[in-house]
Structure 1
Amino acid sequence: MRTVVTSAYGDGIADLFLFTAPAALLGLVLTLFIRETALKDRTPEPGHPTTAPAEGQA
């Protein structure tokens, strides 16, 4: 019984690796094409128009 279980587990892991390794490699290659965007370096001041509440919300 032990031989059957270890054989099935080994075959399953091998098949899983054969399917997921190319997908992981493709994901890695696709990350090279993601455009880099700069993060904001400061928060807006409290009186700045973008932080003021909308009309009717106070």
Structure 2
Amino acid sequence: MTNNQINFFGWILFVISAIGFIIASLGQFWAMFGSVVFLIACLVFMIPFFRKE
């Protein structure tokens, strides 16, 4: 595996983790807010994998 593939796999795991936190925090506003922000941050960090150079 290349470094790029390993990094991408790591970010996928972070996204799965964020989704799990969102599910666990249903009904709790601040926990849900933090989980959604964490998911958005993970997706922002994944943008370079999808941009063409």
Fold agreement, TM-score > 0.5: no
What TM-score do the two structures reach when normalised by structure 1? 0.39
Query: Greater share of helix residues, 1 or 2?
Result: 2
Structure showing greater Rg:
1
TM-score (normalizing by structure 2): 0.41
Of the two structures, which has the highest relative contact order with CA contacts closer than 8 Å and spacing of 6 or more? 2
